Amino acid sequence: MLEIKNIWKTFNANTVNEKVALKGVSLTLNDGEFVTVIGGNGAGKSTLMNAVAGVYPVDRGSITINGADVTDLPEHKRAPYIGRVFQDPMMGTAASMQIEENLALAARRGQTRGLKAGITKMEREEYRELLKILDLGLEERMTSKVGLLSGGQRQALTLLMATLRKPKLLLLDEHTAALDPKTAAKVLDTTERIVQKDKLTTLMITHNMKDAIVHGDRLIMMYDGRVAIDVSGQEKKKLTVETLLEMFNKVSGSDEADDKLLLS
Q: Report the interface residues with other proteins, using CB under 8 A.
A: 53, 75-77, 79-80, 82, 84, 86, 90-97, 101, 104-106, 108-111, 113-119, 161
**Helix 241-252 vs helix 256-263: angle between axes, to the nearest 10 degrees?**
130
CB 31 within 8 A of CB 47: no
CB 187 within 8 A of CB 155: yes
**For other proteins, the closer CB: 14 or 96:** 96
- Residue 206 to residues 12, 17, 153, 202, 212, Cα–Cα distance (Å): 26, 26, 19, 13, 7
CB of 116 to other proteins, least distance (A): 5
CB of 205 to other proteins, least distance (A): 16
**CB-CB neighbours of 230 under 10 Å:** 13
CB of 162 to other proteins, least distance (A): 8
**For other proteins, the closer CB: 25 or 53:** 53
Q: Cα(205)–Cα(216) distance, rounded to whole angstroms? A: 11
CB of 81 to other proteins, least distance (A): 10
Question: What's phi and psi for 83, nearest 5 deg?
Answer: -105, 140
CB of 147 to other proteins, least distance (A): 9
**For other proteins, the closer CB: 97 or 257:** 97
CB of 166 to other proteins, least distance (A): 14
**For other proteins, the closer CB: 75 or 235:** 75
Q: Calculate the CA 193 to chain-centre distance.
A: 15
| Amino acid in the structure at residue 34 | F
**For other proteins, the closer CB: 164 or 244:** 164
CB 142 within 8 A of CB 128: yes
**For other proteins, the closer CB: 123 or 224:** 123
CB of 52 to other proteins, least distance (A): 12
Question: Which residues, other chains included, contact 123 with Cβ-Cβ below 8 Å and sequence gap of 6+?
Answer: 100, 103, 104, 107
**For other proteins, the closer CB: 92 or 152:** 92
Name the 3-class secondary structure at 135: coil
* Phi-psi label, residue 52: left if phi above 0, alpha if psi -120 to 50, beta otherwise: alpha
